[in-house]
Structure 1
């Protein structure tokens, strides 16, 4: 990453943090969870007993990866958004027919490059192009002649976006894939709050550490003076919005400085750090159609906790 790009990312981070902390309901974008420490903590979360999402999605993929790879087609340029540790991508790469390349995209540069280097060593014939970028914004994809772009967006990360933002992102993905392209998407489905709650409130406190690490990052990169111990993690299911919400709740009346700005907190006041929307398949299919994407095939687990969908770009 060049110095200019790094400075630009810090500027975006500062702008988003100052704006979010100025809102009546303070809010921080969840994409900033994923610095090197946050990425490692999230990897730990995915292995927790309570966190059903990753193991359920992996089970669906292991059972259906050949069918998914067939949908991707020959000479697929696989572009993974929010790539993380690239565990799920391996299941596809093992089965793709003559893949044209793999483009893992993530905001956490060090974590991404380490994972991409490891994967490239395992697949020496595969062209791997790690791309450090915020996938919600335009970024450059390598040009590979005669390749079919397929966007891989696992983990139900789409659920972290409010509905209007998710629709904007789906339209962006459709443009990125192009008329002959496709989208392989992980989607967390609606289910009982008794299942959802523990997944975001694990007994070991890893999710709490992941949530508080956002404050540590603000201190380090933006000159903040948050005391992470003065905020406690909470997560709950918002039934009206069909989403899990994560918050950091101030334990006391306090003031926090970020750079030259001061933000007051009342005891019990929260910073809303993440949403995780849970979807109804029929409703999502209709919304995707309005964004230029047609659902071609759906794979789920026996409990219908999670789904993986293949969508084609319409027109």
Structure 2
């Protein structure tokens, strides 16, 4: 979490409480930045609470220097105004822990976050904690506990209210009243009610016998609820963490999110020594993508402006048809005989960035456009990681002999393997709904994620608890000669494989040319090359065509997109299926196709439509280089079946 909090940020807490949770965060920041840099501002309406917090802070975070503690007695918004006045130029991170946002109605929460943004300006982020929607019986028990703690709390509140209104015998009166908890599924909230079983009178009738009072509401959230709240109130959901019961969200201002994204892009390209190379021959060179990100953003942010010739040149990349690379799957500008130099491209990018950053500051660029631009740039940063892995491979292959020293001698060691039949998890038959609603005022999602489908009946099936590992697939490649056995392959896939002269996954290579056992095998990632024994238990990354060939050799198959969602929905199965959402995109055997009622993204109508061609297939989850903001269950990544460069894993499945 603190990786998203820049050094020198002032940590500000709304409602200090015991500071036990706060201390955990502060200690981590102090360990990273040093105690002198750490500064804490606590805001609470109660001076007594602040006095207690001051003492407990030093107990929970002994590294925090007393001179760096600043306490403000005020309500949240007035406290923020005062904090901003005291530290006008500082970057602030507000901690709002304990799911206090659940005490606000949807409209109140929306207004509150808009007010925070207005008061604090763009140099602000919020670490927001929320209680998540759960099983209704679990929620009911939590607020109607067997020891009667919550009931006593609610009744105590009513006693004080009646006393303030002059009702005699309020305590004995309220003890006779009936406490009730209602779990409101429609509004996703828990309601605490008191039902008067005798009247409350103070000279006039306040509550008649049989009347009910809604004493408290505790709203619960889904991760999508908070994403929607952020979108509507002008914040960007940079990352979220969930235990399944509790959610934590890092919200950034629009401008802060864009500037951090640009910094990440610049850092990536600063590490690329030669922008002119094309590590993947069905893509453009590195330099194109630096120009493309800025050109795309400007064109989408200012659709009324006529793009320049350079903006048009960089407006869209290519997706060559792997079955016939003379053809392209998508529409794109003409490819120039020579791309602009890196120096020209950098100047072009800086000019465009200034334009749309100024547009964000002035409000000329909509919230929807900001989210579209951020997700687009973050997706491309991931594809650039695929390119960098291939660049690592090419560099490695030039020095392969030196890199292999000492490894081939171990060629006869027996590696451990897994037998797929021993780790299959049964997934129950169920109906699943794919997609999300398409209300563009509530959130940003891509067109292929919408609309929500009707329930899809999915029969029971079995799926491997773990994705296929490098060790397992290495056996298929070298011992079983899987890439030369046509019987495992779709004929079209096998033909493409032979044209590409591919004998193993694209991120693999041998340090020694004549190595039938594959002991000199290296795996290439964006950060370098690893001997296979160093990463043997990690998932293998490959194309769907390769995954299907392996599955066929095991008399299995690859699961479908609805089956993927079945695993997520089956709590028993989900607890046993490892790394479904991470360590690599999860291939499905589902063709990338629109959901019924599909409507193209207005700002980018060809985003998905060009690829509803029967050649692209759906992937779910995320890869290690996927930006956290893109990790959501509705997200549908897609690539051609034979595309071998993406960081995508698979697991075996059977009926």
TM-score (norm 1): 0.69
Structure 2 Cα separation of the partners of residues 112 and 291 of structure 1: 29
Higher relative contact order (CA 8 A, sep 6+): 1
Q: Give runs of aligned pairs for residues 121-140 of structure 1, distance below 5 A.
A: 122-126=62-66, 127-135=68-76, 140=82
CA contact (8 A) 2:167 2:201 kept: no
Note the alpha carbon deviations across 1:174-225, whole angstroms, 9 max, x for none: 2344202100001222221011111111221221222223234446767665
Deviation at 1:284, TM superposition (A): 2.6
> 2:199·2:207 contact (CA, 8 Å) conserved in 1?
yes
Per the alignment, residue 239 of structure 2 pairs with: 297
The reply to whether residue 310 of structure 1 matches residue 254 of structure 2 is no
| Equivalent position to 1:272, from 206, 211, 214 | 214
Shift of 1:145: 6.2
Alignment partners' CA distance in 2, 1:93 and 1:201: 35
Partner SS state of residue 111, structure 1: helix
Q: Which residue of 2 aligns with 1:236?
A: 182
Alpha-carbon spacing, 1:268–1:221, altered in 2? closer, same or farther (3 Å): closer
Deviation track 1:144-184 (CA, whole Å, cap 9, x = no partner) reads 36531111111111111111001011112223442021000
Check 1:81–1:266 CA distance in 2 against 1; reply closer, same or farther (3 A cut): same
User: Which of 56, 77, 80 is the matching residue for 1:118?
Assistant: 56
More deviation, 139-148/151-160: 139-148
How many residue pairs get aligned? The number is: 242
Task: Please say if residues 252 and 268 of structure 1, whose CA atoms lie closer than 8 Å, have aligned partners that are also in contact.
Answer: yes
- Indicate if the aligned counterparts of 2:181 and 2:191 stay in contact, CA closer than 8 A: yes
Residues 28-85 of structure 1: CA distance to partner in whole angstroms, max 9, x if unpaired? xxxxxxxxxxxxxxxxxxxxxxxxxxxxxxxxxxxxxxxx112122112112112221
Secondary structure in structure 2 of the residue aligned to 1:103? strand
- Which of residues 105, 120, 126 is equivalent to 1:183? 126
Cα distance in structure 1, aligned partners of 2:114 and 2:197: 41
Higher-Rg member (1/2) = 2
Question: Is it true that 1:85 corresponds to 2:18 in the alignment?
Answer: yes
Question: For structure 1, which segment, 213-222 or 115-124, has the greater mean C-alpha deviation from structure 2 after superposition?
Answer: 213-222
**Greater Cα shift, 227-236 or 161-170:** 227-236
1:287 aligned onto 2:225: no
Question: What is aligned with 2:410?
Answer: none
Q: Deviations over 1:232-285 (max 9, x none)?
A: 43222011211101123222123247xxxx552122322222211122222431
Q: CA separation of 1:83/1:224 partners in 2, compared to 1, >3 Å: closer, same or farther?
A: farther
Going by fraction, where is strand more abundant, 1 or 2? Answer: 1
Q: Give the Cα separation in 1 of the matches to 2:42 and 2:17.
A: 8
TM alignment of 1:159-198, pairs within 5 A: 159-198=102-141
TM-score when scaled to structure 2?
A: 0.35
Alpha carbons of structure 1 residues 103 and 247: separation in structure 2 relative to 1, 3 Å: farther
Consecutive unaligned residues of structure 2, counting only runs of 5 or more, are 256-655
Does structure 1 residue 70 correspond to structure 2 residue 3?
Answer: yes
Structure 1 alignment gaps of length 5 or more? 1-67
Tell me the equivalent position of 1:108: 46
| Cα distance, 1:189–1:124 mapped onto 2, change above 3 Å | closer
